[in-house]
Structure 1
Amino acid sequence: MITVSTDVDRIDVDRVHRWLSEDAYWALGRSREVVARSMAHSLNVGAFEDGELVGYARVVTDHATFAWLCDVYVDRGHRGRGVGRALVERVTSELAGLEVRRALLATGDAHELYAAYGFGPLEDPSRWMWRTFAPQ
């Protein structure tokens, strides 16, 4: 049975770092220090099976108006078993409880999962802008 928790003390930073830096197409090579710092400043959601961390999601939010769902990862050995759904369900529940009005995410491969929880394409992408910064 999958259980989901926002208790950051239960989330194994080393495991999350390994998943993201070695296997997640959007975070390859990310340092452990960056993973730990990003977790310290975010809402973290862990999925557990028999006490073992099997999935993770991070939400960057001001806890009032806006959120960005990111770093959603499910251990390869646990994919296809509802872990991703459990993570996204908990995230959307947490954000509804905070009364956040807008949440954003980017995905290259899980559109159907997120659509099931109300996410969709931007209504007016011409209003959004982005910028990248070179690593220091």
Structure 2
Amino acid sequence: MQRYRISTELSEMDIDVIHGFVSESYWAKGIPKSVLKKALMNSLCFGVFTDDNAQIGFGRLITDRATYAYLADVFILDEYRGLGLSKALMTNIVSHPDLQGLRRMVLATRDAHGLYAKFGFETVPNPETLMQVWQPEVYSVSE
């Protein structure tokens, strides 16, 4: 029986696996590996690993660890879905000592509302108060 573990050790994160998934995602398609690596270095990262240390999942928090956190880049590789690993990852994230007492934790998702709702996330009741600078082509190479 395969066993899994979750780690927050940045040195254990497999940038090739993470980049392979995130750079093909709807939220960060085309992100350069160097940009993603910089993002990981400045985030609280959570990796999901098999018992032979292969990375099969990931999530990261952009946070000051006192008042606010933004959850990003959450995934479980396709062949490992349906095993409860996303729930285990989210349980680990929301219970992490550095994330206790935050005033707000947010995320954006197109298709995983059901998962996140199980961990207390809900739609923003006043989205008109949120603003953004949106540059969807920032990772595109200009000729």
TM-score, with length taken from structure 1: 0.92
| Aligned with residue 58 of structure 2, among 49, 56, 59 | 56
Secondary structure in structure 2 of the residue aligned to 1:18: helix
Q: Aligned match of 2:23 in 11, 16, 21?
A: 21
Instruction: Report the AA paired with residue 135 of structure 1.
Output: V
Q: Which runs of 4+ in 1 moved over 3 A?
A: 95-98
Which residue identity lines up with residue 132 of structure 1 in the other structure?
A: W
Which residue in the other structure is 2:138 paired with?
135
Between the two proteins, what is the percent identity of the paired residues? Answer: 36
1: CA distance, partners of 2:97 / 2:134 = 26
Q: Which has the higher helix share?
A: 1
Q: Give, in angstroms, the shift of residue 135 of structure 1.
A: 2.5
Match of 1:112 in 2: 114
1:96 shift after superposition:
6.5
Give the drift of 1:102: 0.5
In structure 1, the gaps of 5 or more residues are none
Q: CA deviation at 1:2?
A: 2.1
Distance 1:131 1:115 in 2: 26
Give the equivalent residue in structure 2 for 1:72. Answer: 74
Q: How many pairs align? A: 135
TM-score by length of 2: 0.88
Rg bigger for which structure? 2
* Distance in 2 of aligned mates of 1:118 and 1:60: 18
Name the Cα RMSD after superposition.
Answer: 1.6
Q: Distance in 2 between matches of 1:121 and 1:85?
A: 19
